[in-house]
Amino acid sequence: MIQDLLGSIASTQAYRRFAAEKSSRTVLYLFFISLIFTVGGSIAMQMRIGPVVDQTFAWLAAEVPTLTFSAGKVTSSEPAAKRLVHPQAPEVAVMIDTARTEPVTLQLMQESKVLAYLTNNALCIDQGGKLETYDLSKAALERPMVVDSKFFREAAGALKKVVYPLAIVTVFVFAAGWTAFAGLFYTLVAMLLQSIGGGALTFGALFQIAIHAQTTALLARIVMSFLPFVVPLSGLLTIIITSVYLWLAVKANAAAAAETSAI
């Protein structure tokens, strides 16, 4: 697979072999480059999201008073209402007022500039201008649950153990599916290029070429995911890079066919 990877990037002649190879090898290569994209994308995601998750849970552990859920009610170590604002995202704010038993209105939340409001018996969330209220009295626990700094530290660790593996699987499935789907689109592009540059490759052969032709663009996507800024028109750049490889591959196969017929 490494040889196929290098050939996809640096050798137009390799595309003559890709066009004639077994479809099972193309499928294996699809999984191979999807795995590379998954590894690179997962590392980039952890570098970007990991610190944010750590900072968020550290902030919660430091700022949220000790909360006790018992008998369908919530009590706090700080009876007075407390508004929490995320240090990195000021628009993310929460109000904790466990002394309040009156219903919370959307107007009150908007005036308080909070996205969530925790009272003695309810959790209210502003869902884009729509108030969602969760009645905690209907969620009575068998035994009291305490939410404190230890809880948030353990929650951060548990989140990483669950979310990161799930994210890796999700990225791999998405990468493989998207690359295969994009391969169909690029096969149509290759058919157009073949009508211009000559050649008589079948749809299946062009599809195999299209899978390999996406390699450089996928690697470029991985590199861009590590950049601290968004690359303008990155989608268009991906299409251009892949189309160039398709054109070179079509020309290489057309030249090979011409040589064969001349013999």
Query: What is the per-residue pLDDT for 249?
Result: 87
> Does residue 221 sit in the same domain as residue 170?
yes
Residue 120 lies inside a defined structural domain of this protein: yes
**Domain end marker among 81, 115, 147:** 147
Measured on CA atoms in the order 229, 233, 236, 240, is the torsion positive or negative? negative
Neighbours of 203 (CB within 10 A): 12
> Does residue 47 sit in the same domain as residue 83?
no
Find all residues with CB under 8 Å of 130, minimum gap 6, and list them: 106
Residue 152 lies inside a defined structural domain of this protein: no
Residue 113 lies inside a defined structural domain of this protein: yes
Residue 59 lies inside a defined structural domain of this protein: no
Residue 221 lies inside a defined structural domain of this protein: yes
String of DSSP letters for the chain:
-HHHHHHHHH-STHHHHHHHS-HHHHHHHHHHHHHHHHHHHHHHHHHHHHHHHHHHHHHHHHHSPPEEEETTEEEESS-S-EEEE-SS-TT-EEEE-TT--SPPPHHHHHHHT-SEEE-SSEEEEE-SS-EEEEEGGGS--SS-EEESHHHHHHHHHHHHHHHHHHHHHHHHHHHHHHHHHHHHHHHHHHHHHHHHH-----HHHHHHHHHHHTHHHHHHHHHHHHSSSPPTTHHHHHHHHHHHHHHHHHHHHHHHHHHHHH-
Residue 99 lies inside a defined structural domain of this protein: yes
Find the helix packing angle between 2-10 and 215-226, rounded to 10°: 90
> Does residue 169 sit in the same domain as residue 142?
no
**Domain end marker among 112, 147, 182:** 147
d(CA 185, CA 211): 10
> Does residue 139 sit in the same domain as residue 194?
no
> Does residue 72 sit in the same domain as residue 140?
yes
d(CA 215, CA 30): 9
Q: State the total domains in the chain.
A: 2
> Does residue 81 sit in the same domain as residue 137?
yes
**Domain end marker among 115, 147, 179:** 147
Query: What is the per-residue pLDDT for 88?
Result: 79
| Sequence letter at residue 78 | E
> Which two tokens mark 208?
């195999």
> Does residue 79 sit in the same domain as residue 166?
no
Query: What is the per-residue pLDDT for 210?
Result: 92
Query: What is the per-residue pLDDT for 263?
Result: 54
Residue 77 lies inside a defined structural domain of this protein: yes
Query: What is the per-residue pLDDT for 258?
Result: 64
Low-confidence ranges of the chain (pLDDT < 50): none
> Does residue 163 sit in the same domain as residue 142?
no
User: How does pLDDT run across 35-68, given as a tens digit for each residue?
Assistant: 999 988 888 877 777 787 788 888 888 888 888 8
Domain hosting 133: range is 67-147
> Does residue 238 sit in the same domain as residue 187?
yes
> Does residue 106 sit in the same domain as residue 35?
no
Neighbours of 123 (CB within 10 A): 17
Find all residues with CB under 8 Å of 192, minimum gap 6, and list them: none
> Does residue 190 sit in the same domain as residue 237?
yes
Query: What is the per-residue pLDDT for 129?
Result: 82
> Which two tokens mark 152?
């948030």
Query: What is the per-residue pLDDT for 207?
Result: 92
Residue 153 lies inside a defined structural domain of this protein: no
